[in-house]
Amino acid sequence: MNFLIVGLGNIGPQYIFTRHNIGFMAVDFLAKQKDLNFKTDRLASVASYKLKGHTIYLIKPTTFMNLSGKAVNYWLSYYKIEKENMLVLVDDLAIPFDTLRLKPKGSSGGHNGLKSIEGVLGGTEYPRLRMGIGSDFAKGRQADYVLSNFSEAELETIPFILDKTAEIIETFCVEGLTKTMNKYNQ
């Protein structure tokens, strides 16, 4: 059984440490742990490794956030992976910073990357790991907030969040969604 792990984010140096790119940060962190290099291929940067008989494919769409669904659809089809064996890593304003919440399905919550994926896949029935980025912004400033860099204090915590995310990804691939949710959801 193979798995597709999708980190959502935007390409370009100006976005590297923004809140919206925590999905990219998470797959980059896991790739570094496994000593992997991403190669740019069709619609995404791609890396892979083996884990207990499974092949884990990591992708970072190069389509920008609002068109993430195009990359997801292509790589699901290319690797012949079922939606339930895909995990989307996504920033979430609705949960506190440093909170991780694994879900089997759900609405986009207004997130354009998830909207794009839902539009292409025709529904919300796919696992996602919601990565809390907090909501400390003035009314009407949501876009500025998600595209802003993490604070210095938050950046000190990020490695711990990314380490826990890597654990969740591998547990999801080895033990399945339900056991992983029971183990890690707070």
Backbone φ, ψ for residue 90 (5° rounding): -140, 140
Copy the structure tokens of residue 140: 């009407």
> Rounded to whole angstroms, how far apart are CA atoms 46 and 164?
21
User: In the block, which residue shows the tokens 């876009």?
Assistant: 143
| Annotated active-site residue in 20, 70, 103, 128 | 20
Residue type at 19?
Answer: R
| Catalytic annotation present for 54 | no
Active site residues: 20
